[in-house]
Amino acid sequence: MHFHSVRAGTARAAAVFITVALAHALAQSAAAASLTLADAQRIAVMRSRQLAAQDAAITSSREMAVAASRLPDPLLRLGVDNLPVDGSDRFSFERDFMTMRRIGVMQEFTGADKRRLRGERFEREADRGLAEKHAAIAAIQRDTAIAWLERFYLERLRAAVSEQTEESRLEIQAAEGAYRGGRASQTDVVTARSSRVMLEDRLSELDKRVRNARAALARWTGDAATETTLGSPPPLDTVPVHLHTLKAQLELHPTIAVLAGDVAIAQTDVRLAQANRRADWSWELAYQRRGSSFSDMVSVGVSIPLQWDQKHRQNRELASKLALAERAMAQRDEALRQHFAEVQTMLNEWENGRERVRRYEQALSPLARERTQAALAAYRGGKGDLAAVLGARRNEIEVRAQALQLQIDTARIWAQLRYLYPDDTAGALASVDPRSRAPGVELSKAGEAQ
């Protein structure tokens, strides 16, 4: 007898152990199959074609920087000088001593400072392109986070309303039973049924919003992740910006960095316009072959642009570039002020949203549940009516819906603040370096040697 009890106890312990192990394995499997916010952002960054376009633009600018810093291609000049067209020597290359067949090379020697500035301008364009890439990554991560969080909280809201809808079926059954027992009126039954229909209508509206939220998230993660369950949300109580250091932090904002790139390009254009006030000389070396009875000749020449109207040409060009540089700086300053005001507003709304979410979690939602439980207890004890129960139930649902909607709004603001700057969690900020290409290395060395 004792032996059988021991065996039974061992079997029960083994069954409990297997059940716990299976539950743990299923939990791990479900966690592995869930889509976390970080996973969604990595997928979105990897799928983005905009970033590939930005990389191509950066590479283009850096390759052009090498080409622009080189001397112009030399000109090969071929010709015939002083060929007779009438008389006994007509179209003869040998008889007239002035007839020459000419071959020469002409080279424009652009100033070293001009070539350096032309290359530098394209480098500044590459820097601007890199800032645009960082801004694009931040926008992708922000929009993906907003879509992920909205879907997460909408699915929670739908689950809450679905639960209330199921409970309303029991309320209808209770109302019908009370009506048959003479403890409720037909109005109570109709009210219970009407409340259920309203819940079903609200559930239908939430189904639409959930489908839209899934479609919005699929725009970033692809259709394969549409039906994937979402993991736990990240903590939403911290952001990487602080009001007392906000101005200094916004100096590094990707959008401001793009405008700072415009300023750098404009300032380079100003220096290039100043350098253009110095003319570039062109040198030519030519060899002239005459008839066999005459000596061949060599010619050397130089061409110098005459900047005789600098006041209305070169100086006006410089004034234009100075004005554009001033415009770029003004646009950057204005954008910085606008961003400062916008982020201040978002910080205030985020702080207020967190405070209100805590109020709902700690006071309003518990009070709404207690009201429902009290009304239900009174109804079951014959001291209350069904209308009070249904009213308390509607109030609880409304409070839960308001709390979740507030969480959605607060989470959206959190995402905008959290991803003001790109989060380099998967090497997404790796810059494009043309030196990783073999031809680019040779061109860069040749340009430096020149």
Split into its structural domains, the chain has a count of: 1
pLDDT per residue as tens digits for the range 117-172: 999 999 999 999 999 999 999 999 999 999 999 999 999 888 888 888 887 777 77
- Asked whether the predicted pLDDT for residue 442 surpasses 50, the reply is no
* Phi, psi (rounded to 5 degrees) for 217: -70, -35
Give strand pairing partners of 302.
Answer: 283
**Residue 249 pLDDT > 90:** no
| 1 located within any domain | no
Structure token digits, residue 275: 């350098």
Model pLDDT for residues 6-40, shown as the tens digit of each residue? 344 444 444 444 444 434 433 443 445 689 999 99
* 428 — pLDDT class (breaks 50, 70, 90): low
In a domain, 401, yes or no: yes
The model carries a pTM of 0.77
pLDDT digit string (tens) for 317-331?
Answer: 999 999 999 999 999
- Mean pLDDT (whole number) for 331-340: 94
Are 434 and 122 in contact, with CB atoms under 8 Å apart?
Answer: no
In a domain, 2, yes or no: no
Asked whether residue 25 is assigned to any structural domain, the reply reads no
Return the axis-axis angle of helices 314-359 and 386-418, rounded to nearest 10°: 150
Closest C-alpha among 353, 334, 355, 356 to residue 345: 353
Q: Flag whether 181 is in a domain.
A: yes
> Does a structural domain hold residue 135?
yes
User: What is the CATH number for 194?
Assistant: 1.20.1600.10
Among the ranges given (147-156, 306-315, 391-400, 434-443), the one the predictor scored with the smallest mean pLDDT? 434-443
Domain that residue 138 falls in: 36-73+112-280+316-449
Contact in structure between 425 and 144 (CB atoms under 8 Å): no
Q: 132 near 432, Cβ under 8 Å?
A: no
What is the C-alpha to C-alpha distance for residues 187 and 179, in angstroms, rounded to an integer?
9
